[in-house]
Chain A
Amino acid sequence: MVNDKRNKAKKYKALSFLPSIFACLFLPSCAKLEPDPYEYGAFYTIENLYNCGALNKDDVLNICYWSNNRAVYKKIGNEGDYKKIARDEYTIRDKGELSSEMEGWIIHDWYLKKARDGSWDAESHKLEESDVAISMHCGNYDGYIAILFSCPWYLNYTQSTYLKEIAGYSFLYNDDGIETVLWKAF
């Protein structure tokens, strides 16, 4: 009788670990942007960090505000239109500082990424680290630094825009396809 109870207890104890095991298996991970590794840290997309819980909705709102150059948009209809959300309908936190040392690390890592993925017209220009520039520091979020890079001068794209919706907020991106990313130091 006592043995039966002990066996049952052991069984329950073993089973109690299952949810944790499943949780570890199925929780979305905060995947880094390929190619990896970089020298000082790693890059992540906003969607990825939002989906894995590293960013909350308010963080996305704040990133969106800075990424859109101090504006938050909301999509209207299905014909590509959008509306600016009135500034008094939301609050924006202090975005924190980006030290020049940290800026240098981020630029270096982005250069490494671009040099590896070959997403530039090598025919017209050989990529240099000095070609990489930050267009907007979009804030610091628990160790993650949101950055919008500018399109290198030697790449030419059409000068219209597209909307990308994350957590109900619309990011207005240029046709060059450069989207705001987050970088975290190793």
Chain B
Amino acid sequence: MESILAKCVIIGIHSFLATSFSFGLLSRRGANANNLNSYFSNRISNNNDLVSLPQSSGDSLPNDYKKNRNWNLSGEYGINAVGAWRISSNEHKVRVGVIDTGIQEHEDIKANLAPGWDFYNGNATTNEDPMAHGTHVAGIIGAIANNGIGIPGICHNVEIVPLQTRDERGSFSPRYTSDAIKYATNLWGTEQQIDILNYSVGGFGTINYFLGDIMDFPGLFVWAAGNDAHDVDSDINGFESFNLPNLISVGAIDSDVDAYKKTNYSSSGDNINIYAPGGHIYSLSSDNGYRYDTGTSMAAPHVSGVAALLLSNSNNLEASDIKEKILSSSSPLDVTLPSGKSQTVKYLNAYKALESLHSHSYSDSYKWLNEKTHRAYCLCGLYMDVGHAVRKNSSVCSICGGKASMGFIDIGS
């Protein structure tokens, strides 16, 4: 009986911690954690059966996440967005501009939409998206999470700004794309600042018309590699400046069971910075519906979503910092490119990207909670898992990698 009561109390404290983090009540987690030291010390001495605490809580798994449909977000070839959500504070609101066909006011994203602009027609009507392409792209980045319907977007504290540039035939003149980038540049430093631009159009390097505009934009520009299954290096040779510090080019990886690690359409080459899921991506469609879509158009918003996730946790990052963190935290993936060539490429990893915000030395940042089981509490985000929080001698939490800012509860010696 006493044991059950103890568990209940601990679960209650766990819930309190989760809630407190959610509402930002604990400004310095280490300091507040110290207040719990005596309680946990007592529990250790009285009860070693702490492993039955819940494994995750709070924002870790949105109720609109469906494992069978969202292969792109978790699992062996997903980007581990689920892991990232577990350690994300979602503290800052991030604004992402989607240069595309417009965005429908789909019920699963409407609350996350900000006013935008139609650069082709010169007005503010951006919700007519007959192709529903921009709608699909926007959903990957910022569909409303935890609303019980559809899908969760990758970033859970985001505002999507529709920047519509298509003509009536559905094609895109570079002129209007240029205007859209300049528009975002002009908003920089204002309350309407657009932090990231997603461009799932054209194919990376196909046009240098707006290269100067990208260079002038202080935020991050994420560009789909293109679906022509060709080597982009031949397109952009001679344009050394395509390696801009604020530009990420994104290739696509498919999800077919017999064709994992292979894409039949994605453009490739050394100038593609990173790859992300692009095949069979389930997201928003017309008339409040949902559909699967395929292409590098779908891969780019995965990177934009992770970039937004980084900014929502640390809003002082420069575009070049975000690029560096996304690329350096990527997972190596051996792929067969459309040309038949095998190559090890960088594959997007949301969890590792977020984890990279908090690298530090852990030598003294924790104490063992239980010497017998080698288990300890780690306050990585809202996640508390006594079962596999800390491996002895590694000094690194196997869930979050450890965080200086969040640290571990110091339970005393």
Contact = CB atoms under 8 A, between A and B. Distances in A.
B231 interface: no
A158 B206 CA distance: 13
A69 B264 contact: yes
Interface in B168-186: 170-175, 177
A174 to B, nearest CB: 5
A150 B297 CA distance: 17
Contact of B226 (A69, A71, A123, A159): A159
B203 interface: yes
A161 interface: yes
B264 A174 contact: no
A29 interface: no
B228 A160 contact: no
A160 B265 contact: no
Contacts of A155: 171
B173 A123 contact: yes
Contact of A161 (B175, B257, B258, B265): B265
A175 B312 CA distance: 33
Which 4 A-B pairs give the minimum distances between C-beta atoms?
A: A160-B295, A156-B172, A156-B202, A159-B297
A175 to B, nearest CB: 7
A124 B173 contact: yes
Interface string B97-117: 000110000000000000000
A161 B295 contact: yes
Given A79-B290, A81-B280, A157 B202 contact: yes
B313 interface: no
Contacts of B171: 121, 155-157
Given A69-B264, A80-B291, A121-B171, A159 B258 contact: no
A174 B290 contact: no
Interface of A: 68-71, 79-84, 86-87, 121, 123-124, 135, 150-151, 153-161, 172, 174-175
B258 A84 contact: yes
Interface in B22-68: none
B280 A153 contact: no
Given A86-B258, A174-B227, A175-B133, A79 B292 contact: yes
Contact of B256 (A84, A124, A135, A161): A84
27 contacts: A68-B264, A69-B229, A69-B264, A79-B282, A79-B290, A82-B280, A86-B258, A87-B258, A121-B173, A135-B229, A150-B228, A153-B206, A154-B207, A157-B201, A158-B100, A158-B131, A158-B170, A158-B295, A159-B200, A159-B203, A159-B224, A159-B300, A160-B295, A160-B298, A161-B227, A161-B265, A172-B264
- Which residue, B172, B225, B230, B294, has most C-beta atoms of chain A within 10 A? B294
